[in-house]
Structure 1
């Protein structure tokens, strides 16, 4: 263990079979259209419902595509990357850097807080009681002055 709490990014190789609507995802990025500051990489912008990528389930929005059919997607113009995807053939091999989860600063064994309905109801009752008490004291105070 190196003492780091951040999970290391994982590189995944996957094959997708082009469907009637293509590979089923949109890309962003490139030298001329940086999606991430100081990063010319190509990223998955949108997974199309019922497309090849959605049916496979491994590719996610925000993943960085490192290579397609063995061709590195490094320092390419956006249009060049699009052309590589369009001419990649029916069976497409992708090397993908999976995006890090949003909760990268937390401990992996910390569970999210879930309040029970009874606790929420108790808080509501306490607030209502405080409002009634405040109203009672306020109206008694005003009656003394008139």
Structure 2
């Protein structure tokens, strides 16, 4: 990918299996996954689902369209309903997550792109820090009993 290039966009056709399409989503206008971004993102891939068998969809990918319907400005539940009612054969348009984006050349990235990727990269360490503090507090509390 050249300097300043955006993440790759790909169309992925999936056939609904016994466990549905085999992935979960996060995001929407009411549950923003990334600050100032109401996009719909893949939060997890189910091991034996259709998405895992295909192998191209990854956690962190943004779902841009489902069967030609743009996933813009939707409430989370509306996006979930769209997936549930998409039929057996589903065509997704996906923007793949950029790996190691913070280490690459910044090129023409906008200030918002930089802020969004930084916030996404901070989410996991912050959650881990909160978990460690909670465990430490619980252990200290138990020692006092």
Match of 1:33 in 2: 31
> Within 1, Cα distance between the matches of 2:63 and 2:104?
26
Structure with larger Rg: 1
Contact kept? 1:18, 1:91, Cα under 8 Å: yes
Structure 1: which 5+ residue stretches go unaligned? 108-146
Question: Larger helix proportion, structure 1 or 2?
Answer: 2
Counterpart position of 1:62: 60
Q: How many residues align?
A: 104
1:73 to 71, 74, 77: 71
Residue 5 of structure 1 and its aligned partner are, at CA, apart by: 3.4
What residue ranges of structure 2 are gaps of 5+ in the alignment? 106-145
Q: 2:113 corresponds to which residue?
A: none
Matching residue of 1:131: none
Calculate the TM-score normalised by the size of structure 2. 0.68
Whether the 8 Å contact between 1:7 and 1:100 is mirrored in structure 2 is no
Poorly superposed stretches of 4+, deviation over 4 Å = none
User: Which residue of 47, 50, 53 maps to 1:52?
Assistant: 50
Post-superposition offset of 1:25: 0.2
Deviation at 1:106, TM superposition (A): 3.9
Distance 1:32 1:101, change over 3 A: same
Kindly state the Cα deviation for residue 6 of structure 1 after the two structures are TM-superposed: 4.7
Question: In structure 2, what is the equivalent of residue 11 of structure 1?
Answer: 9
Q: Output the aligned Cα RMSD.
A: 1.4
State how far apart, in whole Å, the 1-side matches of 2:97 and 2:16 are: 23
